[in-house]
Amino acid sequence: MAVEAVDLVRTYDLGGVSVSALRGVSLTIAAGDYVAVVGPSGSGKSTLMHLLGGLDRPTSGRLVIGGRDVATLDAGELARLRNETIGFVFQSFHLLPRTSAVDNVALPLVYRGIGGRRRRELAAAMLGRVGLGHRLDHRPNQLSGGEQQRVAIARALVTDPVLLLADEPTGNLDSATGESVLTLLEELNADSGVALVLVTHDREVAGRAHRQVVMRDGAVVVPAAAEPGAETG
């Protein structure tokens, strides 16, 4: 099991005013799953992704990531869980601008005490898997947007995580490039068994996932309640 979430609540306190971003979300993500998270702006998708990624903690509820209950982890242990278990890909690529592709990808391995030469080997192999074996020493500004996102994907997967969280990963790409990046993510999900959780505004893209989690007002809309007239707030 990659993630088990039971009744997650996340409330923000804005100067005495309480804002409920999540109001009791339960969700199970199996190893190798491919889940699309959809819903309107403000429905809680980013908040949910932050919790699933160990970047934030729930106000209440139970959250188990890669077999670890986050409530039992201190900040250092949570950071380690993130590094070992979770890969992130964002809409903007978040690469170090003056650093080569191979060194960007090798970065997450630094925290594991793997030697520099071995890190470079692993990073180069991962760049080969995303089709960039010929771009190892290019810096981000020497790469196209699609290539930069492939570098970011390689960096997310070089640690062999259980869970890959992708928040609008094709949002900054033209449609043909976006399609090739999405296909790559799907291939990596199918081949490596990493669970893929994809936030998207694109219905057609969402339909390609094994399963859709539809968010509205901080809750998951259950399929039966999504029928017109079936919802009662």
CA angle at 30 for the pair 183 and 172, rounded to the nearest 5° = 30
Instruction: Compute the least distance from the CB of residue 59 to ligand ADP, in Å.
Output: 12
Q: Which is nearer to ligand ADP, 95 or 126 (CB)?
A: 95
Mention every residue, 6+ apart, whose C-beta is less than 8 A from residue 141: 97
Cα separation of 40 and 158, whole Å?
32
Nearest residue to 162 via CA among 86, 78, 63, 82 = 86
Q: Which is nearer to ligand ADP, 12 or 111 (CB)?
A: 12
Binding site for ligand ADP (CB under 6 A): 12, 14, 19, 21, 39, 41-47, 167
Task: Report the sign of the C-alpha dihedral through residues 29, 33, 38, 42, in that order.
Answer: positive
Instruction: Compute the least distance from the CB of residue 109 to ligand ADP, in Å.
Output: 26
Cα separation of 124 and 69, whole Å?
33
Instruction: Compute the least distance from the CB of residue 167 to ligand ADP, in Å.
Output: 6
Instruction: Compute the least distance from the CB of residue 48 to ligand ADP, in Å.
Output: 7
Q: Which is nearer to ligand ADP, 43 or 170 (CB)?
A: 43
Q: Which is nearer to ligand ADP, 91 or 180 (CB)?
A: 91
